[in-house]
Amino acid sequence: MQQNLSLKVCSKPSAPSTPSTGSGTALRIGFAFTLFLAFLLLSSCMPKKKTSSRLKVVASVPVLYDWTRNLMDERENTRLFLNLIVKNGLQYHSFSPGITEENLINSADLLIYVGGPSEQWIDDIIKNNPSAKDGRLVLKLIDCITDDSSETPDEHFIFSPVKAKVCCQEISDYLCKLDPQNEASYKESCSKYKGLLSILDNSFQIQAQKTQNQDFIICDRMPFGPLFKEYGFNYVALYDKCPAPEKFQPETETIKEFGRKIDQTNAGAVYVFDNSDKKLAKQVIAASKNPKCDTLVFDSMEGLTLSQLFSGKNYINIMQNNLTLLRPN
């Protein structure tokens, strides 16, 4: 009996079809684009964080800049940005402002300036520019200085440690108004800095006592008039104001009189200020009987630069150095 055998052929299942390389890339791009759109949609619905920009503090001259950078702790402060108007060693009394300085003043959140005759141009910019930043604070320090007389204080009051303490307190108060969230820090910095000014003040008082019967001979202009009067230092000056007139030349008899003053007081030195060519001092010494009389130079900080401030020169140590020059004969 013949058996019929049926052969079952088990065929290998075919692999599922895969998309081509091109279509796979298109799918991935489409998926990424969908995610990007979803991100944009979600981002637009989320509340936006306000970007915090630093508040601009502008000081007119290096002395005020140095006070303010100490009072605001400039190296650590992330809320305020400090800038200087009269920089790069430019002369304070002959400074001619341009558009850069005008923009600095108009963009300031806090403007700090001396406010004397040499800064009349700042008063003019403030008065004539309605485009200044809204809510700007303006501190004119000369308005904070009281005097026994009815006269306007000499703009060189900044060289007196006594007046410097008054000014620094005012600056600190304005920093607190500008940035109240850091008020405690500004008050602490002010207390520390006024402590340094008190030490300087005391040192000047002691030196004034040591030299109370001595006349200091100034062969130059005299920006330290308010400082000397504050402590009672006696002095004679060829020109008892600052700045001196251009090409100032005292009379010959005045030169001879100052030469005789060297002889009468047995002075070991006469004094000039930074940027002096010392010509008048040489003429006075030549008119005396002491050709070895020295010429010492006071630093009025009028040509102080930012690079010098950043390298360590500052109001306190410059005034300490000036004090050491006021030595007894």
**For 109-152, how does the pLDDT look when each residue is reduced to its tens digit (9 = 90+)?**
999 999 999 999 999 999 987 667 778 999 999 999 976 666 78
328, 233 Cβ separation under 8 angstroms: no
For 148, list phi and psi in degrees, rounded to 5: -65, -30
Residue 58, strand partner residues: 83, 111
Mean pLDDT of 234-258: 92
**Mind giving me the DSSP string for 74-126?**
TTT-SSEEEEESS-TT--STT----HHHHHHHHH-SEEEE--SGGGHHHHHHH
- Which range in 9-23, 148-162, 278-292 is most confidently predicted, on average pLDDT? 278-292
Residue 271, strand partner residues: 218, 296
Report the amino acid identity of residue 14. S
Percent of the chain surpassing pLDDT 70: 82
Of 21-25, 120-124, 134-138, 242-246, the least confident: 21-25
Residue 243 to residues 92, 106, 124, 253, 273, Cα–Cα distance (Å): 10, 28, 21, 22, 11
- What's the mean pLDDT when you consider all of the chain? 85
Residue 272, strand partner residues: 297
Mean pLDDT of 163-173: 98
- The tokens for 285 are 């010494």
Indicate if the pLDDT at residue 243 is higher than 90.
Answer: no
Structural domains of the chain ordered from first start: 55-203 (3.40.50.1980), 211-323 (3.40.50.1980)
- The tokens for 315 are 């109001």
**For 284-305, how does the pLDDT look when each residue is reduced to its tens digit (9 = 90+)?**
999 999 999 999 999 999 889 9
Mean pLDDT of 183-201: 97
